[in-house]
Amino acid sequence: MGIRTTGCHHMAFVTNDMDETVKFYNGVLGFPIVVTLQLPNPDPFPGAVPGNLAGSRHYFFRISEQDTIAFFEFKDVEIPADNSLLGAGNHLAITVPSEGELQHAKTVLEDNGVKVKSELDHGFCHSIYFEDPVNKIALEFATWQHPCDVAQPFLQDPEPVPAALTAIGSEVYEQHLLQYTPDGHGGADR
C-alpha cells in the first residue's frame, strides 16, 4: 500500500534578510505568515538536517489551504548558488494527514531500504527526514500538529523582524507568542 499524502507541507529555502523576505512574500505576494521560529544555540537538531541551524530564524508562509513555503535566515552570510548545506535549504516536505500515516510512511521507507535520518517533533509538526536514494534530494514527510493558519499561527520568535510584526500585528503576535522549550522534541509552550 502506498503512502497517502495531501500536498506540499513546505519547501524550504535560505535567506540572509528575513525582513525583506517577509516584505516580498507577505507584502507583495500576500502570503500570510503562519509560523515564526527563532532556533536556539546550539543547533537543536544536529545531524537531523544538513547545515547548522543554531540561532537561525525559520518562518513559514501559507501559500494554499494546506501548503507553505519556508525560509531559514542566516544573517551576514552571502548565500551561495548551491545553498543546500545552509540550514537544510532546498528540501521538500510532503504532508501526510495523520500521525498514523507518518508512521506508515516510515515503515514503507524502511521496508524498502531507505534510511530514515531522523524523526523530530517540532511542536507545530512531526517529521521524518530521509533522502531520495536516486537523486540525493533531501525529503521530509510531515504531519501538522497545530493549525498554523491566520486564526491560530504558531509564533515562537520572541523578536520577529519588523515586517513580520507589521504583517501580523503586535497585539495578535503577543496573544499567540509561544515560548521555545528545548525538551529534546523541539516543542514550544505558552
CATH number, domain at 83? 3.10.180.10
pLDDT score of 39 more than 60? yes
Q: How far is CA 60 from CA 26, 104, 107, 124, 132, in A?
A: 10, 26, 28, 11, 24
Does residue 2 lie in a domain region? Answer: no
Q: Which residue has the higher pLDDT, 185 or 103?
A: 103
Helices (runs of H) and strands (runs of E) counted in the chain: 4, 11
Q: What was the pLDDT predicted at 186? A: 43
For the chain, give the mean pLDDT.
Answer: 84
For the chain, what is the domain count? 1
Per-residue confidence at 187, pLDDT binned at 50, 70, 90? very low
Does residue 130 lie in a domain region? Answer: yes
Q: What was the pLDDT predicted at 168? A: 95
Q: What's the pLDDT tens digit per position in 6-37?
A: 988 998 888 888 999 999 889 888 899 999 99
Does residue 36 lie in a domain region? Answer: yes
**Rounded Cα gap, residues 32 and 182, in angstroms:** 27
Does residue 55 lie in a domain region? Answer: yes
pLDDT score of 128 more than 90? yes
pLDDT score of 160 more than 70? yes
Q: What's the pLDDT tens digit per position in 41-99?
A: 888 877 776 677 888 899 999 988 889 989 888 887 776 665 555 555 567 888 999 99
**pLDDT above 90 covers what percent of the chain?**
42
pLDDT score of 119 more than 90? yes
**Rounded Cα gap, residues 110 and 176, in angstroms:** 38
Q: What was the pLDDT predicted at 71? A: 87
Provide mean pLDDT across the span 109-135. Answer: 87
Does residue 83 lie in a domain region? Answer: yes
Does residue 77 lie in a domain region? Answer: yes
Does residue 20 lie in a domain region? Answer: yes
Q: Which domain holds residue 138?
A: 7-189
Provide mean pLDDT across the span 109-138. Answer: 85
Does residue 117 lie in a domain region? Answer: yes
